[in-house]
């Protein structure tokens, strides 16, 4: 497993840098995840098959973790895990660390991976609802955090939009006509179908009053090498905004609402997940891809 480290002075939660040699790996990973998402209606088909708990420490793991984090964090717990399929290499660790003895101050869950040296590949605010999926097609387990799925993209853990509360179905003729009108092009015309017929998915959602819909068009013709068009439909069948998402992967925020009370729309991008305001179309929050750093260094 190869990791790319950011230099210390650039170790921020910025979008994943693109390296020439790794670009094909990332593109393959996104394609594999998107294909599995379509089949299972979950990113990578991920569900937690292993719940993580820090009630019982692994003493050897705790000793390793304290050497790296004990000076900065008073509270340190550690357990051994496998983020990849078990093999002869050193296994990985999951930590719970905090600035206070009761972990109420700056408390985090941290994942470590040994690759010649200990690397920190995941750090998020601590939660008790933490689990791991089965090993995914990218070779690593996904991390399930309060229902949020973090998938391995070949270089780093990337968040996936929340799909809770989204019911998917095929588009009706009326909805296909609406999409054609909004796109300014008949989705059945020969040019639009030159790469194959577009896939139009409809999600029944509750964004404000209930009865709203999200319509996603997935097609090389309309998406190109970038993002796919996503239409937000109100509860009387009118399209009031178009946004875009990588591979057409979208979700609904569990907690974020905009100034008018609309639940935020989560969109997948190359830098992570962006929560969009349905009212304004502007970003309310960005949940960025995890950076990889040497374990124990200040973030």
Q: What per-residue confidence (pLDDT) applies to 44?
A: 47
Question: How long, in residues, is the chain?
Answer: 299
Q: Is the pLDDT of residue 2 over 70?
A: no
How many whole angstroms separate alpha carbon 249 and alpha carbon 227?
A: 9
Would you kindly state where each structural domain of the chain is located, as residue ranges?
8-158, 167-288
How many whole angstroms separate alpha carbon 29 and alpha carbon 15?
A: 16
The pLDDT confidence band at residue 247, using thresholds 50, 70 and 90, is very high
Q: What per-residue confidence (pLDDT) applies to 47?
A: 77
Q: What per-residue confidence (pLDDT) applies to 3?
A: 62
Q: Is the pLDDT of residue 28 over 60?
A: no
Higher pLDDT, 108 or 28: 108
Residue of 108, 103, 98, 111 whose CA lies nearest to 61? 111
pLDDT (average), residues 170-199: 89
What share of the chain in percent tops pLDDT 90?
A: 68
DSSP characters over the chain = ----PPPGGG-SSPPPPP-HHHHHHHHHHHHHHHHHHHHHSSGGG---SEE---SS--HHHHHHHHHHHTTT-SEEEEEEE-SBS--SSPPEEEEEEESSTTS-SS-EEEEEEEESEEEEEEEEE--S-EEEEEE-TTSBEEEEETTEEEEE-SSSEEE----TT-EEEEPPHHHHHHHHHHHTS-TTSTTTTTTSPPEEEEEEE-SSSS-EEEEEEE-HHHHTTSEEEEEEE-TTS-EEEEEEEETT-EEEEEEEE-TTSPEEEEEEETTEEEEEPTTT--EEEEEEPPPPEETTS--
Q: What per-residue confidence (pLDDT) applies to 158?
A: 96
How many whole angstroms separate alpha carbon 108 and alpha carbon 124?
A: 5
Q: Is the pLDDT of residue 8 over 70?
A: no
Low-confidence winner among 105-109, 194-198, 210-214, 295-299 (lowest mean pLDDT): 295-299
Residue of 158, 119, 161, 122 whose CA lies nearest to 26? 158
Q: What per-residue confidence (pLDDT) applies to 15?
A: 30
Q: Give residue-wise pLDDT tens across range 88-143.
A: 877 899 999 999 989 999 999 999 999 889 999 999 999 999 999 999 999 999 99
pLDDT (average), residues 276-292: 95
């Amino acid at each position: 497993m190869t990791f790319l480290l950011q230099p210390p002075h650039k170790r921020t939660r910025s979008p994943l840098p693109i390296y020439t040699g790794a670009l094909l790996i990332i593109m393959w990973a996104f394609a594999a995840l998107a294909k599995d998402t379509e089949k299972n209606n979950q990113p990578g088909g991920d569900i937690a098959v292993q719940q993580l708990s820090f009630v019982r420490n692994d003493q050897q793991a705790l000793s390793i973790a304290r050497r790296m984090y004990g000076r900065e964090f008073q509270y340190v717990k550690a357990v051994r895990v496998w983020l990849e399929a078990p093999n002869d290499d050193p296994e990985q660790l999951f930590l719970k660390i905090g600035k206070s003895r009761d972990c109420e101050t700056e408390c985090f869950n941290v994942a470590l991976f040994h690759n010649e040296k200990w690397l920190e590949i995941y750090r998020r605010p601590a939660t008790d609802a933490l689990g791991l999926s089965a090993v995914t097609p990218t070779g690593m387990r996904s991390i399930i955090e309060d229902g949020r799925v973090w998938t391995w993209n070949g270089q780093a853990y990337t968040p996936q939009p929340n799909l809770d509360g989204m019911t998917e179905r095929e588009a009706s003729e009326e909805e296909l006509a609406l999409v054609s009108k909004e796109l300014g092009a008949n989705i059945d015309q020969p040019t639009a179908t030159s790469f194959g017929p577009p896939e139009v998915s409809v999600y029944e959602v509750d964004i404000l009053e209930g009865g709203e819909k999200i319509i996603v068009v997935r097609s090389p013709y309309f998406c190109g090498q970038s993002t796919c068009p996503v239409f937000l439909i109100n509860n009387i069948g009118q399209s009031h905004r178009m946004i875009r998402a990588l591979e057409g992967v979208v979700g609904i925020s569990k907690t974020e609402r905009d100034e008018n009370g609309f639940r935020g729309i989560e969109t997948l991008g190359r830098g992570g997940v962006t929560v969009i305001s349905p009212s304004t179309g502007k970003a309310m929050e960005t949940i960025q891809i995890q950076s990889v750093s040497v374990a124990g260094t200040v973030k």
